[in-house]
A and B are shown apart, each in its own frame.
Chain A
């Protein structure tokens, strides 16, 4: 991407963008330098929403002060308030935008009819935002109405997501469910009544509103399952996202002061991340996968030029929720990814400690490896379940993508780029030919918020190297035996030839930062995305790692023998320079 003079920004406005995560707050200053938007400075400090600070502003002020100290540009006045708009003396900034994921998830009670129909679709709508399902009432629920009302009262959800019935379909059972919700709401103190989202049979909107409307705020969204065959979650997803903004983000301690600095409410980080992934998908006219391995959540986005799928998992992450991983897999599954011997108890203790101290970072090689192994397992868990979900609704969850965008402190702070790339390849086990970029400065959600209003700023910020280009990856698939030749790689015709065997992962140096022609010729039974045995010459760039050929097979299989498995893991790390 290049910028011509005619594409220079017209507004000349400066932007300060803050990302308030559960553990860290990152603030970035963008401004126009020599007619082009540049990332001027960035600072990261601990997020201060929890005790003893209990004020999100403190962390923001600290990060903004760091930026001022580095740039010599005053951004806060003597009272600690943001100077806005920018002044002629160079102080201040024109726009302040906040993305946030620091608030706890919306505790949601899901109410619907059939598990395989509306409940499934509702769950997919809920996973597009920071939500936590605390209970589900459906027709398969064996509890009677009385027990359900008691459960509603006891659990005190933030949100009741009421769905069910195709448009024009079942009415009686859904209205009975709505009546049960109404009973529960009535028995709750007024101050504890949750919000209700109704995304069921559209013909019942008025009746549900009349039934529940006196007791709670009822927001209406399109039916998530208008027919048995169609799923339609976008509108409900939008409503839930706004609800998270209104109910959770606006309740962050100190956020009212932040709102005074900004012209708009904080955007949920996952939404902003989805926006930037969609932006790249439109730019590349191809499928783009985004992975955000956060402290309190994991976000997965798949986008094409005309569709976006978003999965936000608040039950997993590298911070407090990492302890939930122990409910999903045995520690042995994590040890599987390690090249050294480790006791299952040690892994359990490490995970619970990490959950108690989510802000801490590894200081020994062994702890770094263990944290990376946990990252693999967390991403794998989310990706596998999200892919199965996409398969269920007729989309191929494992279909190839053109670009992989990854973010999160564990990946961005990996000492060597090969480590971050190998974590992603092990966890996602993708296929085809794709490039990988790492959000090393934690900017992508910030750019997502700018993508709509200042697209040029985004283009120019990206050109300025805000992403770390890890390089290209080729993954041949097909049945093979260890050592069997899988792919022949020829760089800049005649300059370098490499044969990659089955079971290997190889880094092919392209030798220059400039794009080079690379000829890829798979063996007869192997496919790199163009059919078995079909090769292609492509133009690729070196990236931080080089061209990676991952010929380890899919799904990845590891030796049963412990010593052989550890040697294999060690070999792959070595091959990747990790």
Chain B
């Protein structure tokens, strides 16, 4: 029976398209067809972090409804500090309203001019080596296409990053040792089985680490991770879980290659944190298959104890709900684990590795 199951993409070579979106309308500064480097700016927008409400009609001593006839600017006009926004000529001289800051005229309402002050510019970087294949609504962003490895993760600290991969633990089960942070790890993205100490993040920041990829990390450390400048991405979950072997092996094989980390938290639309490792490839590389119903032969990862993070192969798909060890009934499959044991796992607790 067809049964959709959550899946995680762990592909060594696939075609990848990613949107790079500004949080608001702005300006796209690359063209379709252009090759971009990870740190290249692809779009930018003014960050308006302050608002000014200018009592213009009071300053001109006119009724609020009469203000429009004295305005020298329109909605959307970019203004500079000291620029005259409205003017009323009088018999002897004139009355003016000047802009107190650099900004944009956002609105004129009830005798007031609303200025949005441009305090900073947000520059959106490609964060990915690839080619711009389309723009989004002219002024919102671009879609970048590349080929390479793609790993979807479970949790991210929110930041994005880019750097060269370095394996920092011997196995997928080992935690990152604070002594392992040294001159060789500066500027690198470190891969480790686990993170189990809160001071690791501070030491990584001091050591100019560009990012951390781990199988798991306790919730208390996750809470703090957002305050660091580099992204932390967990591939398997929260707590004390090892990194799934296929993910660790793919990252091992990618050591020395450049990777992009997208650490966004999972949201309502299902976007997940991910690791992209661009790799040159000829034509014919396809995008990863999605929407695959669960089937015999598929590689799956188990999401809950007692087999958390273990990877196995589906050997049987049950047509009807089965009894679980805690005496509930659930749809599921038999999975052959790495040690040869076959166990029943509810489909809800599975992740198809595609």
Contact = CB atoms under 8 A, between A and B. Distances in A.
Contacts of B92: none
Contacts of B3: 45, 62
Interface string A314-352: 000000000000100000000000000000011011111
A467 to B, nearest CB: 18
A154 B154 CA distance: 28
Contacts of A367: 304-305
B270 interface: yes
A364 B308 CA distance: 12
Given A364-B305, A367-B304, A149 B4 contact: no
Contacts of B291: 52-53, 58
A443 B219 CA distance: 36
Contacts of B24: 189, 192
A359 interface: yes
Interface string A124-162: 000000000000000000000111011001100000000
Given A46-B5, A183-B53, A363 B349 contact: yes
Interface string B304-317: 11110000000000
A187 interface: yes
A420 to B, nearest CB: 12
A362 B1 contact: no
B219 A351 contact: yes
Contacts, number: 146
B227 interface: no
A352 B107 contact: no
Contacts of B48: 153
Contacts of A365: 326
B325 interface: yes
Nearest to A59: B4
Given A46-B5, A52-B7, A182-B109, A150 B269 contact: no
A179 interface: yes
A104 B267 CA distance: 10
A228 interface: no
A186 B1 contact: no
Contacts of B90: none
A149 B219 contact: no
A52 B324 CA distance: 28
Given A45-B3, A353-B237, A362-B304, A145 B53 contact: yes
B326 A368 contact: yes
Interface in A360-416: 360-365, 367-368, 413-416
Contact of A186 (B2, B25, B106): B106
B271 interface: yes
A195 interface: no
B268 A104 contact: yes
A146 B51 contact: yes
B112 interface: yes
Contacts of B290: 52-53
Interface string B8-27: 00000000000000001100
Interface in A436-452: none
B238 A352 contact: yes
B5 A363 contact: no
A237 to B, nearest CB: 23
A51 interface: yes
20 contacts: A45-B3, A46-B6, A49-B268, A53-B270, A65-B2, A147-B51, A326-B219, A345-B220, A348-B218, A349-B238, A349-B239, A352-B155, A357-B303, A361-B324, A361-B328, A362-B304, A362-B326, A363-B345, A364-B305, A364-B326
Interface of A: 45-46, 48-54, 58-59, 62, 65-66, 69, 103-104, 145-147, 149-150, 153-154, 179, 182-183, 186-187, 189, 192, 326, 345-346, 348-353, 356-357, 359-365, 367-368, 413-416
Given A46-B348, A349-B240, A364-B305, 18 more contacts: A45-B3, A50-B268, A50-B269, A52-B291, A65-B2, A149-B53, A183-B53, A186-B109, A189-B24, A348-B220, A349-B218, A349-B239, A352-B222, A360-B348, A361-B348, A362-B326, A363-B325, A365-B326
The 9 closest A-B pairs by CB, nearest first: A50-B270, A186-B107, A51-B270, A349-B239, A187-B106, A52-B290, A348-B219, A415-B327, A352-B238
